[in-house]
Amino acid sequence: MTGDLNITERVVRADDVRAADPSDEAQERTIHRYGRISILAAPGESAEESVPEIRDMRDLVDDPTEVETLGLAAQRLRQSADYRRAKENRPRDGREWDMGDCTSVVPVPPQVAESDSEQEAGPTSSYLEGSVAVGIVIVQGPTAALSFSEAEVVKVIAEVQNGLGWLATANPLAGISFSYDIQNVNLSVPADPSAADLEAHWRDPAMGALGYSADWNGVGAYVEDIRSRYGTRWTYCAFFTKYPLGHFAYAGAPRVVMDYNNDGWGPDNIDRVFAHETGHIFGCPDEYADSRCTCGGAFGRYGLANGNCENCAAEGGVPCLMKGNTFTVCGFTPGHLGWAPQLAVNNFGYNAGSWRTDRHPRFLADTTGNRRADIVGFGDAGVYVSRAQPNGRFETPRLVVKDFAYQAGGWRVERHPRFLADTTGDGR
């Protein structure tokens, strides 16, 4: 396991992944890319080693870049026992977020004018499917209080990796992968808590130091540059700093801004806060009470209401990353992220299989103990099972019991209830 995610990760050469049979990624697939390095993920402990793993940076043909070195160091940190213990004891685990609305607390500055390339590229983050370029910009200042240690830099990359790794594996059918650019900027600009624009005070010189225009337009040019460089569908960037901010974490496309100390949530919760802010980048509203949310509105790719808002949902809603400190989502967030329904199995339907609600009960249950929900259907000839696959799809249904069915046994919905339960305590 890596971090506190229920996945197995392996670090491999990106070229080896591209050269492999595409069908191999049905079991494990790329979720992170750092230059020539890819991090593959598979659910639980089910990884199949279809391509060789990199265990040492010296396995690369050429000298490793800083991006590659940091990506591997972050992944190794996430595999450590200390990191896993920190996640097991993370502060305020499960509690609702207590900040104000983090999409409007610091308004997105007006853009002077879009360049021709930005106009041609189109939206930066309409919905979260496919490939995404992520620019991580660590902005340091001239004093110890504004500086990051080497360990803190790796910590930032590891937390981003953990948070986005959870998003990438939450819906395998969305085919989400993240390609990273990492910039570590050292400024001579002193802190100024009374600056009229606390973000622009350090952001503009940081963009200038990276070779872009020293203003908000430079941010737009930067994210389009990395999108073009990595050939991704979407793009955004995140600034991590210790300079004074108007709010410790907030988002407005195409950027996220975070204070390393992460307010009272602490650095060990950067992963979830960053994933939450990334949710905003891709269309999700806040759901916690202090954001003053309502259950109305139209959000994300499909214009869905904010039905899990703590202020108005039944019993305050259910646990969700957009409502609190948890790696779970409610029934509304997938639609806000733009995750489109996809055909996962061509059976168990009215036309596909001729199943009927008054004859053929169908259930979801883990029949193997691998923590994936399989489809169990009581058809005409007996009980059919279609086991869930790591890629989000299901295997072809197979007949496992010739009984408990409409014809095989003469069972009727109105007379003979059927249930699924773990009768042995083995998790199945």
Interval 359-369 mean pLDDT: 93
Check: CB of residue 151 under 8 Å from CB of residue 325. no
Res. 424: pLDDT tops 70: yes
Res. 176: pLDDT tops 60: yes
Minimum mean pLDDT among 55-64, 284-293, 309-318: which range?
Answer: 55-64
Question: How many other CB atoms are found less than 10 A from the CB of residue 136?
Answer: 22
Domain range annotation of the chain: 90-336, 345-428
Check: CB of residue 139 under 8 Å from CB of residue 239. yes
User: Which tops the pLDDT comparison, 15 or 183?
Assistant: 183
**pLDDT tier at 27 (50, 70, 90 boundaries)?**
low
User: Which tops the pLDDT comparison, 205 or 122?
Assistant: 205
Interval 221-244 mean pLDDT: 99
Contacts 24+ apart (CB under 8 A), 262-269: 263/99, 264/91, 264/92, 265/91, 265/92, 265/325, 266/90, 266/91, 267/152, 267/155, 267/159, 268/86, 268/87, 268/90, 268/91, 268/159, 269/90, 269/91, 269/92, 269/325
Structure tokens at 307: 């039905």
pLDDT at 23: 46
Interval 264-293 mean pLDDT: 98
Structure tokens at 424: 């042995």
Question: What value does the mean pLDDT of the chain take?
Answer: 92
Query: What pLDDT digit, counting tens, does each position of 314-350 carry?
Result: 999 999 999 999 999 999 999 999 998 878 889 999 9
**pLDDT tier at 218 (50, 70, 90 boundaries)?**
very high
Query: What pLDDT digit, counting tens, does each position of 190-214 carry?
Result: 999 999 999 999 999 999 999 999 9
Query: pLDDT above 70 covers what percent of the chain?
Result: 90
Nearest to 391 by CA among 25, 39, 132, 32: 25
Interval 159-184 mean pLDDT: 97
Query: What pLDDT digit, counting tens, does each position of 289-306 carry?
Result: 999 999 999 999 999 999
- The model carries a pTM of 0.86
C-alpha span between 84 and 208 (Å, rounded):
38
Structure tokens at 286: 């806040």
Nearest to 157 by CA among 266, 252, 274: 274
Q: Which class does domain 90-336 fall in? A: alpha beta
Structure tokens at 13: 């050469």
DSSP SS3 for 308: coil
pLDDT at 22: 46
C-alpha span between 363 and 298 (Å, rounded):
32
Query: What pLDDT digit, counting tens, does each position of 92-118 carry?
Result: 999 999 988 988 888 888 765 555 556
Query: What pLDDT digit, counting tens, does each position of 261-270 carry?
Result: 999 999 999 9
Give the CA count within 13 Å in the CB-facing half-sphere of 227: 22
Alpha helices in 93-175 (DSSP H): 116-121, 150-170
Alpha helices in 213-301 (DSSP H): 216-230, 270-281
Query: pLDDT above 90 covers what percent of the chain?
Result: 77
